[in-house]
Chain A
């Protein structure tokens, strides 16, 4: 009996030992997670994937981003009264660093810069295994991403003045360096474009077949020109824009109204465009949409039933409309503004008794804009007629692209630079302005001055990305910004750093004395 037990216990022990040691090996197994190490970098066919990802990030914008970038100009007011009070405060130059929109714009932009940097690293990983043409192709992709990255830096510096330049995806060291001045950021952008241009295709974005609508040399020239314009380095602006004009590849899309609708997508005018679509399919979650709801009127009677209205947060100003009426603008006013009866009454009460017939609450496409409390008008440049929506898709302006940089802006930047004393590198300034006016059904002018060009920019580019506002603060033209009861002064030019960022950034940044606003803020914190 005893013996039997001992044998049995030994058997049990042996069994346990064998089975337990096999259990042990299981500790090294991992399941259920996709890592970058799982990518096959030797397959250069896949090298384009990080680039497509970068375009995806570029087009993925929060609804507050274009709103906050654009609202402070005299072309547009914050709609949404009673809602988003601090957005309205921002429009009136009363800033609160606690406001979530500021923090979000900062975060989302910087996060995308990091994503761009990571995408570049991914492409470099592919390049290590690539040969010949594939290496060059990788260089082109990297150059494209550098252009997108520059656009994010450009926006940040325009809004906050001194910001961080980030070119890595582990930015601790660059954060330690502290922020750069606005001029340094613009200089950096310009130099980055010089690096990118040789590697980019010599084509119009819509000529590209590999990535239709992707970045080309001319996109880089455009960003370079924008950066140089901020530096008031007008000769460099004329040089860069001259390259675009002289290429002969670009022309204005003839129908100003449809330029901002589906027919005008990826036109010969477009230099940089965020692309969205539902591919004409009524269902499926692969539809990729821009955030246009915020721009739309809150109440309408669409031609296509069940098309959703918008939020009414972006209201063209009466100042802008009166400016356009005074110039006898037709197609550009009709395109830029969606009128309501309430808004039209306001205009009449303000003394504009003789309104042209197109000033009505029915759009050229037949949608009726009903009165709504938040705003008097809505932006027509962010409006897709309901009849252009895909069947069963109801979201406001669903599937419409968002133009970021277009040839008309290039022409006017060129004209401004020349009128400010730069030597003409392409056509005369008059010709550039008249090309824009011609499409707007306006008579040609001659001997244009800088003021004429600024007026033309106001009329042509209103509601687009805050172009008007940044022009005015570049020129210190605070008078134009002091309208509708507002008073603008120099200290209103830039937004305060978001509180969350002041809290989060390491105080070591103060160790580097670069006399920046951010460092001042951080210093005060200490």
Chain B
């Protein structure tokens, strides 16, 4: 019934008749290189006259009259309007799309004209991301999109941390939803940058609400490249190779500084170890009071690492079929000098078939086969605290085999310290195979107005992990026996979407209605087994559990499976009146088997826009080319949290009774009964284009509130935290971006872009009697308080260091606590002349208050140059490596700490004395440990040269420097630490590559 009605309405509006002298015009449409553009659409405005250019770019419009306007559109090019004049033949050159308003933007389950958007969506095109040499496409987005914070990772093959508009959940479930050609992913490490056509970041709730319960942390819709009908095949090769090098390597205290610290510490044992080292390894010739060994552990464990990538592809299309196929190989070594590398081979194909005028079929397959060798991150930590008076190798350590690595225990230290055994005797191999397979059928029920599309996709991942422990001894009776741990995980996620779309234009009204359903079936299976004492472990061919001691499997085999279902109904309305007034609304009802209490959630959204530049009072303005105000509101859910545990859970244990193993059970007594987190967001935006569309400005302000936030409520005595819906988290911020495109003369054009983002992250309400939620360890407390940021570092504010006895005597706090010169002075926050737990404050958050980025791109004749930068400020980092001194006091420290320690009046007002570092007073969490994380970085510099000659294919050679320079004060390798706690963060290397691109 409904369909019929729609059809009648459609017919009414589309066949408004008229009688005037009509004629036929023809034309050719070309790109700026004067190549014909097949498949471009040509439509007479307000009339049902329409054509698509043929293989040679020709079109014909019948029945037009002089004065008619027609519009030429082609994806990737600026649409243009022409008025039918005297001539009957038109040669039209389309300009490539820079940032045009007729650009079509991908939205959830459909597309929309950019000019019609009421929400906040940013599109990043392929050329912007291709400059970054990386295995993970998200890395290349860093600094490019305001409101999206990317924290880099250093280890090859790992995915960077991505946050859209702050941190709205306390749980680990902070994953952005990636929609790759319609299939849903939490991780897109299997995609090759070259295969991506565009990334569309749906930032506000109104844009992403159509994805309902999965959209809480933002949605990024990714389209892979496809071919076009009637397109000549185009081949492309793109490859680069280069090296990666650690930057800003932390300078550690050398043997002399370390010895000084040990003598000043007041610990006899520490002095003894120095003497032991001199006895074992001799005395330094320069300073005979220092051991002869002076190891720079970071230098020892670092290396220059290679990276290379090669992609080939071809795309094109005939009358009925368009295709795009390609393959990519990428390999990257890690800068940690062990078996630490990533290698991925991808093949993909995307084929679109016009079965009939109304019926199309699309198939899309991406298969990715990767092998990753994970680093032993403990090596970073060991290298920090390993003493510099220990060499890598110690020929006297004859008990160490197969390699005579030095062992710090032989000098008296508690730990073996040397990072090399963990690096050499461990191998962590992950084979990651992922398949995305999609088929969609689309049928036009009413041509150009009503269509139905059904899509089935299956993404299947198999993760085969093998962790190898090679046997070794290290002297001092340190022995590790061989072992293999296997973890096999499979993930099988199926999605079935059905979408009905109705589009129509009548008079000044433009309407799109969409309704759909989505069914999700997400299943996983994990199998794990550990075997020890492997026969022939040195040979790759014996590295199977079959060669393990069968007894060693006891208690070492496990399997678990999970399966969650989801069912959703959704709809979207977008309406525009005279291109001036815009209305947008979506609704989604989501059901999830995860929530036993109430499986259904409802997520509405609405958006409004007003294009002022279309109004009479502005339409004649020469200055303002485009001006739009936007406002939107929407609700999202987060089901990516632990499923409810509806009752007590039990665990089977084995213990010793009468020298026999006996099994029994233990059970937990706390349980949660959770429902999803609900995110409500308001967004206000403005878009301006001016200076003949050369300058475009966009500003957005948002308030994003997570209600029913799941917080781990600590239950004292039980000493367990239970996840409960018990708080409200708010993120708000301003996002600005500006772009300028300019041309000077014929040969030189340039663009400049900049963006700036602020973020205020706050827990506005906590439904716990205490009013706060603690996290971190008791020694390194992070507290989420009402009115404060999530996971704020919570401790004392250091105001300086006691310099002399007079200062001590004058301060009752110092006297009370038996302090001495060289101890830290803390601020007495409440002014009660006592320093106690009530003087603790939030010292800061790991989330930056602001981030900014920018880029400059220039073309001069055959040269092209681009530079981008990125920075952030206002975030804090817990220097957890330094904090390790709380647990083990006799180890090494960085040179900054050793040199700038207090060692006499006036020597430091920042760090305590060597002896002071061992005192509980100074070990309290304070901003001695918590440092500013501000940084500024030159993100990417690229210089290219294009060779364009008739006889040759189009060749471009380029050089790239990725992250060549960083500027920060933090005492670590990098100020990019995903959760702000820097214990063993893998350093982010700089990358220098040369590349070649060939098209024909």
B533: A residues at CB distance < 8 A: 282-283, 392
Residue pair A36, B648 in contact (C-beta under 8 Å) = yes
CB within 8 A of A20: which of B268, B479, B567? B567
**A103 and B778 contact, CB distance less than 8 A:** yes
The verdict on A82 contacting B890 (CB below 8 Å), with A16-B517, A394-B479 known, is yes
CB distance from A155 to the nearest CB of B (A): 15
A326: chain B residues at CB < 8 Å are none
Q: Are B717 and A9 in contact (CB under 8 A)?
A: no
Cβ-defined partner of A96 (8 Å) among B599, B654, B920:
B920
* Bound CA–CA A55/B656 (angstroms): 9
B593 touches A286 (CB 8 A): no
Let me know if B769 and A506 touch, CB within 8 A: yes
Separation of A113 and B272 alpha carbons in the complex (Å) = 43
Q: B669 in the interface, Cβ–Cβ < 8 Å?
A: yes
A11 smallest CB distance to B (angstroms): 11
Contacts of B648 in A (CB 8 A): 35-36, 118
| A5 to B272 CA separation, bound complex (whole angstroms) | 92
- Asked if B16 is at the interface of the complex by the 8 Å CB criterion, the answer is no
Contact between B452 and A12, CB atoms less than 8 A apart: yes
Are A24 and B656 CB-contacts (below 8 A) given A33-B645, A50-B667, A171-B717? no
A425-441 interface with B by 8 A CB criterion? none
User: What's the minimum C-beta distance from A144 to chain B, rounded to whole angstroms?
Assistant: 12
Distance (whole angstroms) from the CB of B271 to the closest CB of chain A: 9
Distance of B634 from chain A, by nearest CB (Å): 24
Enumerate chain B residues within 8 angstroms of A117, measured Cβ to Cβ. 669
Contact mask B707-720 → A, CB, 8 Å, 1/0?
Answer: 00000001111111
* Residues in A whose Cβ lies below 8 Å from that of B918: 82, 85
Interface residues of B in 240-287 (CB under 8 A from A): 265, 267-270, 272-273, 276
For B452, list chain A residues within 8 Å (CB): 9, 12
Is B895 interfacial (CB 8 A cutoff)?
A: no
The 24 sampled A-B contact pairs (Cβ below 8 Å) are A6-B4, A23-B519, A27-B599, A35-B648, A36-B667, A50-B664, A50-B665, A53-B664, A53-B665, A56-B654, A59-B655, A85-B889, A89-B920, A100-B778, A118-B648, A119-B667, A211-B657, A276-B656, A284-B554, A373-B269, A503-B774, A505-B716, A506-B716, A506-B770
Whether the pair B562, A27 counts as a contact (CB closer than 8 A) is no
- The verdict on A164 contacting B656 (CB below 8 Å), with A20-B567, A23-B565 known, is no
Which partner residue on chain B sits nearest A310 by CB separation?
Answer: B414
A34-B650, A37-B646 known; 8 new pairs, CB 8 Å cut-off, are: A24-B567, A27-B593, A39-B665, A85-B889, A85-B918, A169-B718, A283-B552, A306-B473
CA distance A394 to B717 in the complex (A): 36
Within residues 53 to 110 of chain A, which ones have a CB less than 8 A from any CB in chain B?
53-57, 59, 80-86, 89, 96, 98-100, 103, 107-108, 110
B186 within 8 A of A: no
User: Closest CB-CB distance, B114 to chain A, in whole Å?
Assistant: 31
B566-603 interface bits toward A, Cβ cutoff 8 Å, 1 = contact, 0 = none = 11000000000000000000000001110010010000
Are A53 and B778 closer than 8 Å at their CB atoms?
Answer: no
Residue B355 at the chain A interface, CB threshold 8 Å: no
CB distance from A27 to the nearest CB of B (A): 5
Residues of A within 8 A of B805 (CB): none
With a cutoff of 8 Å between Cβ atoms, the chain B residues found around residue A418 in the complex are none
A122 contacts chain B at the CB level, 8 A cutoff: yes
A394→B649 contact, CB < 8 A? no
Chain B residue at minimum C-beta to C-beta distance from A205: B658
Known: A30-B593, A111-B720, A288-B654. A49 touches B567 (CB 8 A): no
State the 3 A-B residue pairs at the shortest beta-carbon distance, nearest first: A52-B664, A212-B658, A26-B565
Interface residues of A in 23-51 (CB under 8 A from B): 23-24, 26-39, 48-51
Cβ-closest chain A residue relative to B660: A279
Q: A20-B517, A96-B920, A306-B479 are in contact. Are A502 and B837 (CB under 8 A)?
A: yes
Q: Which residues of B contact A319 (CB under 8 A)?
A: none
The answer on a CB contact under 8 Å between B498 and A81 is no
- How many Å lie between the Cα of A52 and that of B890 in the bound state? 41
Which A residues lie within 8 Å of B443 (CB)?
A: 8, 12
Contact present for B667 and A80 (CB under 8 Å): no
Q: B439-464 CB contact bits vs A (8 Å, 1 = yes)? A: 00001011000001000000000000
Whether B562 contacts A32 by the Cβ 8 Å rule is yes
Q: For residue A374, which residues in chain B have a CB less than 8 angstroms away from its CB?
A: 269, 412, 414
- C-alpha spacing A16/B919, complex, angstroms: 70
Whole-angstrom distance between the alpha carbons of A119 and B647 in the complex?
15
Q: Complex formed: what's the CA distance from A300 to B498 in Å?
A: 72
Q: How far is the CA of A370 from the CA of B661 in the complex (A)?
A: 35
Check if B744 is an interface residue, CB within 8 A of chain A. Answer: no
Contact B919 A85 (CB under 8 A): yes
Known contacts being A298-B409, A298-B414, is A35 close to B647, with CB within 8 Å?
A: yes
In-complex Cβ contact of A55 among B553, B599, B657 (8 A): B657
Determine the distance from Cα of A12 to Cα of B656 in the docked complex, in whole angstroms. Answer: 64
Give the chain A neighbours of B658 by CB distance below 8 A: 211-213, 266, 275
- What sequence of 0s and 1s flags, for each residue 922-964 of chain B, a beta carbon within 8 Å of any chain A beta carbon? 0110000000000000000000000000000000000000000
Q: Using known A-B contacts A23-B565, A27-B599, A57-B666, determine if residue A82 contacts B555 with beta carbons closer than 8 Å.
A: no
A331: interface (CB < 8 Å): no
Establish whether residues A302 and B662, one from each chain, have CB atoms under 8 Å apart when the complex forms.
Answer: no
Q: Is A475 an interface residue (CB 8 A)?
A: no
Number of interface residues of A (CB under 8 A): 112
Write the nearest CB–CB distance from A164 to chain B, whole angstroms: 6
Per the bound structure, the CA–CA distance linking A32 and B717 in Å amounts to 29
The interface stretch among A249-257, A348-356, A493-501 is A493-501
Write the nearest CB–CB distance from A129 to chain B, whole angstroms.
17
B residues within 8 A CB of A55?
Answer: 655, 657, 664
Residues of B within 8 A of A283 (CB): 481, 532-533, 549, 551-552
Q: Is the CB of B779 within 8 A of A100?
A: yes
Q: Which of B473, B649, B716, B779 touches A504 (beta carbons < 8 Å)?
A: B716
Contact B565 A110 (CB under 8 A): no
B869: shortest Cβ distance to chain A, in Å?
42
Q: Indicate if the CB atoms of B655 and A31 lie closer than 8 Å.
A: no
CA distance A115 to B666 in the complex (A): 7
Nearest-CB distance from A341 to chain B (Å)? 14
A29/B565 in contact, CB under 8 A: yes
Contacts A20-B517, A85-B889, A499-B778 given: A36-B650 contact, CB under 8 Å?
A: yes
User: What 0/1 readout, one digit per residue, does chain B (813-841) give for beta carbons within 8 Å of chain A?
Assistant: 00000000000000000000000011000
* Cβ contact within 8 Å between B553 and A284: yes
**Cβ-based interface call for A285 (8 A):** yes
Let me know if B656 and A9 touch, CB within 8 A: no
B742 at the interface (CB under 8 A from A): no
> Which chain A positions have C-beta within 8 A of B270?
82
Q: Per-residue 0/1 for B469-484: is the Cβ within 8 Å of any A Cβ (1 yes, 0 no)?
A: 0000100111101000
Are B661 and A286 within 8 A (Cβ)? Answer: yes
Whether a CB of chain A sits under 8 angstroms from the CB of B643 is: yes
Q: Report how far A31 CA is from B659 CA in the complex, Å.
A: 37
A33 touches B593 (CB 8 A): no
Q: How distant is B916 from chain A, measured CB to nearest CB, in Å?
A: 11
B649-A99 in contact (CB<8A): no
State whether the Cβ of B521 lies closer than 8 Å to any Cβ in chain A. yes
Which of B565, B650, B657 lies at the interface centre, i.e. has the most chain A CB atoms within 10 A of its CB?
B657
Interface residues as binary, B526-562 with A (CB distance below 8 Å gives 1, 0 otherwise): 0000101100000000000000010111111000111
B888 within 8 A of A: yes
Q: Among B276, B666, B770, find the residue whose CB has the most chain A CB atoms closer than 10 A.
A: B666
Does B95 have its Cβ within 8 Å of any Cβ on chain A? Answer: no
B113 within 8 A of A: no
CB < 8 Å: which of B477, B551, B567 contacts A27?
Answer: B567
Contact B265 A82 (CB under 8 A): yes
Instruction: Select from chain A the residue with minimum beta-carbon distance to B648.
Output: A36
* List of B residues within 8 angstroms of A316 by Cβ: none
Q: Whole-angstrom distance between the alpha carbons of A114 and B478 in the complex?
A: 37
Compute how far the CA of A139 lies from the CA of B646 in the bound complex, rounded to whole angstroms: 28
Min CB gap B721→A, angstroms: 10
Task: Find the B residue at minimum CB distance from A521.
Answer: B837
The verdict on A517 contacting chain B, using a C-beta distance below 8 Å, is no
